[in-house]
Amino acid sequence: MDLTGYLLIALAAVGAGAINAAAGGGTLITFPAMLAAGMSPLAANMTSSIGLLFGTLGGAWSYRDELRRQRRRFVVNAPFAAIGGVIGAVLLLVTPSAAFTEIVPWLVLLAAALFAIQPALTKRLNRSAADTAPPVEERAPEALAAPPVEERAPEALASRDHTGGWPAKAAFVLIGAYGCYFGAGIGIMMLALLGLVIHDTLQHHNALKNIMAAVINGTGAIILAFSPLIHWGVVAIMLGASLLGGLLGGWLSRRVPSWLLRIVVIGFALAVALAMLLT
């Protein structure tokens, strides 16, 4: 690989780190860049998975303030994300990626659709919960004193006991497996999942998404590191470049309105799916 190839991969890693911190799907930047630099598809896939790890950590660090109120959510769900990461990494080592890559754009489109309807679905679920609540005269005094959900502060919504239950655990296993097998759109999938099963702000979901992605990618990296296909020189370049991009992307995404971030996430998901369908 010549100097131009290394520079191309470094620039792609900066962009991928920023996109992963803000939404997810950075693999769709690094993967084509690595192919253009002369790497084989399987080697590019494995090397990209390890090389973007620091970018994920950089994004998580940028959201450290939001993460402080989500310790229980992380502790409860992280083991299941790690299990999924192990499954995905093993599958990548023992099976060809061509068949799975064919369904990736449809998975990304599904995640984008879920993410798009999440606000309406959340309102419907909240309305259903209100309809099934006991009459006012039967409620405990402390329940009567509590403000409505929509009026509570983010700290109250981010209850440490509200972890998503078994649906979140099962979904994290599946997302973890997919994330270590190919990875494009993993952030979009997690944002869609968190929006459906955990009632909180989008920025808090983004914070939890980043740290869970670090668990998934880190677990997979431990297993993939034993593959002879890994280009460690490229990994070293990508680790530094993606860390810079992750810090930049995390800083930017925390300073934009939630509705704008939602539009960016959905738009990027559609772009990723279209690009994969056309290749």
Tens digits of residue pLDDT in 29-59: 888 888 889 888 888 889 988 998 888 888 7
User: Could you give the CA distance from residue 199 to residue 127 in angstroms, rounded to a whole number?
Assistant: 13
The residue that leads in pLDDT, 31 or 171, is 171
All structural domains of the chain with their residue ranges: 3-278
User: Could you give the CA distance from residue 223 to residue 158 in angstroms, rounded to a whole number?
Assistant: 33
pLDDT tier at 104, thresholds 50, 70, 90: confident
Residue 145 tokens read as 């004193």
Residue 179 tokens read as 């994330």
CB 185 within 8 A of CB 24: yes
User: Could you give the CA distance from residue 180 to residue 211 in angstroms, rounded to a whole number?
Assistant: 15
CA distance from start to end of the chain: 23
pLDDT of residue 103: 78
Residue 205 tokens read as 């979901």
Spatial neighbors of 249 by CB under 8 A, at least 6 apart, are 17, 18, 19, 20, 21, 22, 58, 59, 62
The residue that leads in pLDDT, 90 or 142, is 90
Buried b (16+ CB within 10 A) or exposed e, 39-66: beeebbbbbbbbbbbbbbbbbbbbbeeb
Residue 42 tokens read as 């399987």
Q: For residue 187, which of 65, 69, 52, 91 has the smallest C-alpha distance?
A: 52
Tens digits of residue pLDDT in 195-249: 888 888 877 888 898 899 899 989 999 999 988 889 999 999 999 999 888 888 7
Taking residue 167's Cβ as centre, other Cβ atoms within 10 Å add up to: 11
Sign of the four-CA dihedral 58, 64, 69, 75? positive
What 8-state DSSP symbol labels residue 95?
Answer: S
For residues 6-27, average pLDDT: 83
Amino acid letter at 87? I
- pLDDT above 50: residue 132: no
User: Could you give the CA distance from residue 214 to residue 234 in angstroms, rounded to a whole number?
Assistant: 19
Q: Mind spelling out the 3-state secondary structure of 117-138?
A: HHHHHHHHHHHHHHHCCCCHHH
pLDDT of residue 123: 65
